[in-house]
Structure formats: C-alpha cells, structure tokens
Amino acid sequence: QVQLVESGGGLVQAGGSLRLSCAASGGTFSGYTMGWFRQAPGKEREAVAAISMWSGGSTYYADSVKGRFTISRDNAKNTVYLQMNSLKPEDTANYYCAAKWRGGNSWYANYNYWGQGTQVTVSS
C-alpha cells in the first residue's frame, strides 16, 4: 500500500523559509510523478509543483510560486522536498503531497495517492 507522509510545516514570518518533506513508502516510485498541492480555507485545491521520479527529474511549477519555491528529490530515500523561500501570507495553506503513475497527463492532474497534509502559516 502506497503511503505518503508530509512533514516540515509550521509558522513563519513573511519573507521567511520552510522546507517540506514527503516520504513515500509501499512501492517503487521510479515510474511516478510526485507533486505538491495546497488548499486554504474557502479556496480550491491548487497544484504547486511536481517532479518526475525517473531519469531526468523534470520539474513543474505554478506561476504563483515560480522563482520562490523549489521542488527536489532524493530517489534513494523515496523522498521529495519543497523548499519555500520568500514566503507570503497568501502562501498560508495546508500543503500535501501526491503521486501518480507516469503517463500522458498534465503535470497538475490525475494524482491518485495523497498524503495527510502539513499546515503552513505565514504571518505578516
């Protein structure tokens, strides 16, 4: 059974940084795409970033975080990271990790495994 566990959320002041981790277990993930999503109260779920777990490690970012957030991977640990810099209050949300099998889908769509989420709160 695939399990995704996020960690690293917390409270940070505007302009600060946090690093989120997603540890995957229960399978082989070299054929998967791993993504980060977020959802704030009263707002729909937003795709933040994604990375392929196979050779090449292609990355994708939402326009709202491009240049501030960086997604990376450690294949040996089956772990994906989201480095968040220059945080803004509007980044406040529950962040969660997701995974999907590689295919012809858009980077932000059709994820079928989800973590429990970790809260990120950015104060002004």
Tens of pLDDT, residues 18-32 = 999 999 999 888 899
Tell me the C-alpha distance between 25 and 5, whole Å: 9
Phi, psi (5° rounding) for residue 107?
A: -60, -25
The pLDDT score that the predictor gives to residue 55 is: 85
Contact (Cβ atoms closer than 8 angstroms) between residue 23 and residue 116: no
Contact at 8 Å (CB) between 25 and 3? Answer: yes
Q: Side by side, which strands form the sheet with 79-84?
A: 3-7, 18-25, 79-84, 69-74
Which residue positions in the chain have pLDDT lower than 50? none
Which residues have CB under 8 Å from 72's CB, separation 6+?
A: 51, 80, 81, 83
Please tell me whether residue 77 adopts helix, strand or coil conformation: helix
Please report the pLDDT score of residue 27 as a whole number. 86
pLDDT score at 103: 60
- DSSP summary character for residue 75: G
